[in-house]
Amino acid sequence: MAVAPALIPRLEVLQLYRSLLKASRTLKFTSREYYVARMRQEFRKNQNVQDPSLQSKLFKKGRFLLENDLGGLL
């Protein structure tokens, strides 16, 4: 039997949000204002996600964008 993934702790989500905001300072190909507005929109749109698998997928997407400097592709 497969174990369902647990919900991502709020603190980890907030840390990801802050890290993405900090990454916006170094954008080269995207307007910082657009990036921050789009990021806020995505986080707000998904703030009530309760499905652990979807939440994990969204979190991994955010980490991937951050770790690969793909902020301009948000």
Contacts of 63 (CB under 8 A, 6+ apart): 16
Task: Specify the pTM.
Answer: 0.82
The residue ranges of every structural domain in the chain are 10-22+30-44+54-73
> What is the pLDDT at residue 17?
95
Q: What average pLDDT does the segment 20-25 reach? A: 91
Q: What average pLDDT does the segment 26-48 reach? A: 91
Q: Which one has a higher pLDDT value, 5 or 33? A: 33
Rg (C-alpha) for the chain, rounded Å, is 13
Q: What average pLDDT does the segment 27-35 reach? A: 86
- Band (pLDDT 50/70/90 cuts) for residue 8 is confident
> What is the pLDDT at residue 55?
95
**Contact 62/20 with Cβ under 8 angstroms?**
yes
